[in-house]
Copies of this chain bind each other. A is one copy, B any other.
Amino acid sequence: MSTCTLIPDWCRISEEATHSIEDYGRGVPRWCLGCGDHAILAAVQRYCRDEQLPLEKTVFVSGIGCSSRFPHYMETYGFHGIHGRPFPIAEGIKMVRPDLNVFVSTGDGDCCSIGTAHWIHAIRYNMDMTVLLHDNEIYGLTKKQASPTSPAGLKTNTTPRGSRLNPLNPLSATLGVANVSFVAQAVDWIPDLLHDIIRMASLHKGFSFIRVLQRCPAYLPTEFEAQTRNPERVLLLKHQDGLTLPPEIAQTYRNQEEHDPGDIHRAREIASASDPIPVGILYHNPAVPCYEDSVDRDRIDTAETTHAFLEQEMDKFTIWPTSSEARRA
């Protein structure tokens, strides 16, 4: 008996399902109680289960930070790299192995501070991967220093008299970069939307950038308090080409905007807003080509073809013992 009609279409559970949510988890996450990273992990694992992503064909890549511990908690392949460099590592993987599902987990320091150059260029490369920016607006792992997304005036260990700068807006910045193809914002405290956004991001072929506003109770315990309490301070973006809101969600969060993800100008305006917090798909352009597709993947290369090519290439540099042969190339 198929149960397909009973569950929303994003949830492709069927009799063939062989992996449970638990199958995707590994170990006990070492995040603080109440840390938003737990919710992100849960949403990702749920999505993996829904899609039945093969464990061995999926790679989670990260940098360094609390959030970058993510791959350790997935029973897939993982690459916990160095601070700020998850993107180039993920790009190398995807270029060589377009058959793999590639996810990137990165923090606001990892991505928007030390990793800025790679982030901006990853957008431009538009390789097919799903990116979760765990934006807790603080350096968690190193214990409370200002991050580029920290609110102005925030007192941290490196800004004891308050952060001096307005925060960088990762959405606006992303939307300014050539080849941008998918930009969304989610919040850790609305897990269903988080899940839906991850799903849409993963279905998009290209560089799918999701900024997740993530609570860090350890160092910014009150940062999103108002927004978690008051649904009015969240603005849901919906559209037939974007997010369709589950009814319960639509009822709780009345603040909604019909936004066409194809409209980059409006997307940039929305991105600039922080109160209410926009949640949903800001921008989506399925037509942007992927860098990895610029290579001919149809050819079959074997030791023999390589060998033959090498001989042919060497011919070009060869001087043969008799001068008439010199012209063979």
Select from chain B the residue with minimum beta-carbon distance to A173: B176
- Using known A-B contacts A116-B116, A165-B124, A268-B265, determine if residue A176 contacts B176 with beta carbons closer than 8 Å: yes
For chain A residues 98-127, which have a beta carbon within 8 Å of chain B?
Answer: 113-117, 120-121, 124-125
- Using known A-B contacts A164-B294, A169-B178, determine if residue A116 contacts B121 with beta carbons closer than 8 Å: yes
Residues from chain B with Cβ under 8 Å of A265 in the complex: 265, 268-269
Residues from chain B with Cβ under 8 Å of A164 in the complex: 291, 294
Select from chain B the residue with minimum beta-carbon distance to A268: B268
Residues from chain B with Cβ under 8 Å of A120 in the complex: 116, 120, 168, 173
The distance from the CB of A103 to the nearest CB of chain B, in whole angstroms, is 23
Query: What is the bound-complex CA distance between A294 and B117, given in angstroms?
Result: 26
For chain A residues 164-215, which have a beta carbon within 8 Å of chain B?
Answer: 164-169, 172-179
Q: Kindly state whether residue A148 has any CB partner on chain B within 8 Å.
A: yes
Select from chain B the residue with minimum beta-carbon distance to A293: B164
- Using known A-B contacts A114-B117, A121-B116, A265-B268, determine if residue A166 contacts B179 with beta carbons closer than 8 Å: yes
Q: Is the CB of A168 within 8 A of B173?
A: no
Query: What is the bound-complex CA distance between A291 and B165, given in angstroms?
Result: 7
Residues from chain B with Cβ under 8 Å of A172 in the complex: 176-178
For chain A residues 18-39, which have a beta carbon within 8 Å of chain B?
Answer: none
- Using known A-B contacts A117-B116, A174-B176, A176-B174, determine if residue A168 contacts B124 with beta carbons closer than 8 Å: yes
Query: What is the bound-complex CA distance between A116 and B119, given in angstroms?
Result: 9
Residues from chain B with Cβ under 8 Å of A121 in the complex: 113, 116, 148
Query: What is the bound-complex CA distance between A294 and B125, given in angstroms?
Result: 37
Query: What is the bound-complex CA distance between A168 and B166, given in angstroms?
Result: 25
Query: What is the bound-complex CA distance between A148 and B117, given in angstroms?
Result: 12
Q: Is the CB of A166 within 8 A of B124?
A: yes
Q: Is the CB of B177 within 8 A of A165?
A: no
Select from chain B the residue with minimum beta-carbon distance to A117: B116
Select from chain B the residue with minimum beta-carbon distance to A163: B294
Select from chain B the residue with minimum beta-carbon distance to A120: B116
Residues from chain B with Cβ under 8 Å of A168 in the complex: 120, 124, 177-178
Residues on A close to B: CB < 8 A? 113-117, 120-121, 124-125, 148, 164-169, 172-179, 265, 268-269, 291, 294
Q: Which 10 A/B pairs are nearest by Cβ-Cβ distance?
A: A176-B176, A116-B117, A164-B294, A117-B117, A173-B176, A172-B176, A168-B178, A166-B178, A116-B120, A166-B179
